[in-house]
Copies of this chain bind each other. A is one copy, B any other.
């Protein structure tokens, strides 16, 4: 805090980052960026996308829309059972289990998607509201200052209801919402 150093982006050259820490940070940031861009591509154009990223000496990451395997199958051009050649002997059952599990989770994902689509109308209104007001303070302050009593009461009641709901959140296991992201188990 004592020193105010120069921030902001600097031009970057397309070369391997030698510093290990910087490389790791860049990997995480850019990996998410690529996935995000891929998600936009798939959503906006309806294309199927599958991505595999394998950092050196760490666990692989993937992105799939709707999922990697089907995208690969399309790429190859045919549906086929699990290959007997490269995987292990019991791979068949592993695949079956994995696919069944994927189906179930995909159902949940699809319902999520449906909810998202269903809510698009309301959300677009919110976006319009957002764009019309630049300042963070103004966003809330402006309209509320001009509310009448009944509207203010509704707001208050709504906030109270929300408070109760939020405070009494359950202890459901499995997927959860943490730090702005949904996490498995």
Contacts and interface: CB of A to CB of B under 8 A. Distances in A.
Contact of A45 (B17, B97, B140, B185): B17
Contacts of A82: 77, 85-86
A177 B71 CA distance: 36
Chain A interface: which size bin? 35 or more
Given A38-B51, A49-B52, A72-B75, A144 B107 contact: no
A177 B149 contact: yes
Given A153-B115, A160-B122, A97 B141 contact: no
B151 A110 contact: no
A147 B177 contact: yes
B72 A77 contact: no
Interface in A147-185: 147-149, 151-156, 158-173, 175-185
B68 A97 contact: yes
B169 A149 contact: no
6 contacts: A34-B49, A52-B96, A67-B101, A78-B83, A128-B136, A151-B165
Given A61-B103, A109-B109, A145-B180, 9 more contacts: A37-B37, A51-B51, A52-B97, A60-B100, A109-B184, A126-B163, A149-B173, A154-B162, A156-B175
Sorted nearest first, the 8 A-B pairs with minimum C-beta distance are: A77-B83, A148-B170, A62-B100, A148-B172, A152-B175, A119-B123, A27-B45, A39-B111
